[in-house]
Chain A
Amino acid sequence: MAPPEVHHLFHHPIADHSFSADRGTLAVARENNVELYGKTGGKFQLKDELRGHDKTVTGVDIAPNSGKIVTCSQDRNAYVWEPSPQGWKPTLVLLRINRAATCVRWAPSETKFAVGSGARLIPVCYFEEEDNWWVSKHLKKPIRSTITTVAWHPNSVLLAAGSTDGHARVFSSFIKGVDARPEPSPWGERLPFNTVCGEYLNNTAGWVHSVAFSPSGDALAFAAHDSTVTVVYPSAADQPPKAVLSISTQVLPFMSLIWSSESEIIAAGYDCEAYRLQGSEQGWQLAGSLEAAKGRPGLQDQREESALNMFRQMDLKGKSSDDTKLKTVHQNTISTIRSYEESGGVVKKLSTTGVDGRAVIWTL
């Protein structure tokens, strides 16, 4: 296993990050702006800045094929940025929400995107050719609280959303004229807009931090603030799911998770390191940390201390060694995990960013 590639970008929290399809550009949300880093040599260098939001940017997503960037912010707006000869050109999206936008993700089809918001609704946005701007349709019922996270099904119609009311829900976001009729799946066959295909709650009803569909789209996982990951296997429309498996972990809650394959989930959060969870419909379990016991970059600079130095430190600081550094690669909460490299539907590399301003690329 190759050691992780660590890029310390700045000393600010990174709310969200996204790589371009060729992985040459990294967009990170830093305070009110989105910064674009370009890879030169082995390092990321600041290339461009997307300025326009006047409050903290909460989400950024680069569409892999079209290269368009969508951003959303606590100022209740979302912009779609398109490259032009004069630089990046923003287009305002009419979200029609009265609370902050919390997260944004392009649908795999790239013809629409979903924005989570504090207004207890999810604007699903698509481009209206006639009026030449992005308009939105609201997914409303039965959301009772802030949406913290959204994730798309591979068919671009089903949308999973996690909320602070403790529920993870699966909605249909079918928009006539934009989407093709989806294939029937375990989630349902007829899917008009705002069909609730599933609504799941775990035992403690902790608020949901992250949701994700499995690569095939036939299973849903969500991580909640009670340190659990719950995996749902649906059976058919209007039927109870085949299996709902909740894994209570010993570690602090996970903020973000992705499926690396049908039988493995990578999750990371307040423990500052990523963990593997492995299993199937029969059961899931925590399989250990992604960080090998040795080879952590943070540990290499711990060398043998001389006795004189140790006593001097004890005299000056009342302790023998400086333990202000965590033993993990990330030095603070990890807020986003994304797939970096895939082959044959299996994630080979993934990227994480967190509150410590680091972007790390891991090899699985």
Chain B
Amino acid sequence: MAAVNWRTINIDALDPDSPANFDLTSLAPAVAPVSTADVQSLAGHIRQLLRGGDSEGALRGALENPPYGADERGKDVHLATIIEILQSIRQSEMSPILSRIYQSDGGTEALDVLMKYVYKGMGHSSSATATKQITPQATGFSQVHGRGGSEGGGQAMSVLLSWHEKLVEIAGPGCIVRTMSDRRVV
């Protein structure tokens, strides 16, 4: 017994009522499971709208049906769809579209979802470029190379950053806080 440091015993593991012993998913709101095929067919619909020039309708459709219950692959498909829409909308149209969505019914919820995708998109594009930028030595030459290779990611990032800026102007910091505290992840 002397060898056991009693201060480091995890007492929660021994307590039947402890939070370590119940299913944490019961705390969050229930989300309906969504299959990847459903996400893909939704993405098809949205692309059609986008090709028809209705980028606002496409964005709305994508934001109103976030696949919270989908698996990783389904979520990635939806992320790709949303990034595509975001990249197709011109900078001057961002604010008017966002304020129209904000003023409509359920608009704040839609913008919260958009914020989640902006952050997720930032995470994705930076991890994609990070792998390209690995260089054996931090020489000036290899840095130039690295920058050349990350051009695509950098462009996606600048689009996301301008969306982020416009979004915070309209939905305020409350939108960011909701993105952070929400247990339904995209």
Interface size on B, residues (CB 8 A): 21
A206 touches B178 (CB 8 A): yes
A165, B175: Cα distance in complex, Å? 20
**Segment from B22-30, B81-89, B128-136, B155-163 that makes contact with A:** B22-30
A9, B183: Cα distance in complex, Å? 39
B182 touches A205 (CB 8 A): yes
Q: Is A203 an interface residue (CB 8 A)?
A: yes
Binary flags per residue of B107-141, CB closer than 8 Å to A gives 1, else 0: 01100100000000000000000000000000000
B181 touches A249 (CB 8 A): no
Q: Is A248 an interface residue (CB 8 A)?
A: yes
Give every chain B residue within 8 A of A250 (Cβ-Cβ). Answer: 171-175
B172 touches A251 (CB 8 A): yes
Q: Is A234 an interface residue (CB 8 A)?
A: no
Q: Is A228 an interface residue (CB 8 A)?
A: yes
Q: Is A237 an interface residue (CB 8 A)?
A: no
CB A284 to nearest CB in B, in angstroms, measures 13
Nearest residue (CB) in A for B177 is A227
Binary flags per residue of A24-60, CB closer than 8 Å to B gives 1, else 0: 0000000000000000000000000000000000000
CB A260 to nearest CB in B, in angstroms, measures 22
Give every chain A residue within 8 A of B109 (Cβ-Cβ). Answer: 203, 248
B181 touches A144 (CB 8 A): no
Nearest residue (CB) in B for A206 is B181
B182 touches A226 (CB 8 A): yes
Query: Chain A at the B interface: mostly helix, strand, loop or mixed?
Result: loop
B182 touches A248 (CB 8 A): no
Given A166-B27, A204-B183, is A120 in contact with B174 using a C-beta cutoff of 8 Å?
no
A204 touches B181 (CB 8 A): yes
Give every chain A residue within 8 A of B28 (Cβ-Cβ). Answer: 166, 205
Give every chain A residue within 8 A of B112 (Cβ-Cβ). Answer: 204, 248
Q: Is B17 an interface residue (CB 8 A)?
A: yes
CB A19 to nearest CB in B, in angstroms, measures 31
CB A170 to nearest CB in B, in angstroms, measures 18
Which of A224, A226, A228 gathers most chain B CB within 10 Å?
A226
Give every chain A residue within 8 A of B26 (Cβ-Cβ). Answer: 144
A204 touches B178 (CB 8 A): yes
B22 touches A225 (CB 8 A): no
Query: Chain B at the A interface: mostly helix, strand, loop or mixed?
Result: helix
Of B17, B173, B183, which is within 8 A of A251 by CB?
A: B173
Give every chain A residue within 8 A of B184 (Cβ-Cβ). Answer: 203-205
B183 touches A205 (CB 8 A): yes
Query: Could you tell me which residues of chain B, from 1 to 57, have a CB within 8 Å of some CB in chain A?
Result: 17, 19, 22, 26-29
Nearest residue (CB) in A for B168 is A250
Of B108, B171, B172, B177, which is within 8 A of A225 by CB?
A: B177
B27 touches A227 (CB 8 A): no
A124, B26: Cα distance in complex, Å? 26
A204 touches B19 (CB 8 A): no
A205 touches B27 (CB 8 A): yes
CB B167 to nearest CB in A, in angstroms, measures 11
Give every chain B residue within 8 A of A226 (Cβ-Cβ). Answer: 177-178, 181-182
Of B29, B174, B183, which is within 8 A of A227 by CB?
A: B174
Identify 26 residue pairs between A and B in the complex whose beta-carbon atoms are under 8 Å apart, listed by A's number. A144-B19, A144-B27, A145-B19, A166-B183, A167-B27, A203-B29, A204-B112, A204-B182, A205-B29, A205-B181, A205-B183, A205-B184, A206-B182, A226-B178, A227-B173, A227-B174, A228-B178, A248-B109, A248-B174, A248-B178, A249-B174, A250-B173, A251-B173, A251-B174, A252-B174, A253-B174
Q: Could you list which residues of chain A lie within 8 angstroms of chain B, going by C-beta atoms?
A: 120, 140, 144-145, 165-167, 201, 203-207, 224-228, 248-253
Q: Could you list which residues of chain B lie within 8 angstroms of chain A, going by C-beta atoms?
A: 17, 19, 22, 26-29, 108-109, 112, 171-175, 177-178, 181-184
Please give me the 6 A-B residue pairs with the lowest Cβ-Cβ distance, nearest first.
A250-B172, A227-B174, A206-B181, A204-B182, A248-B108, A226-B178
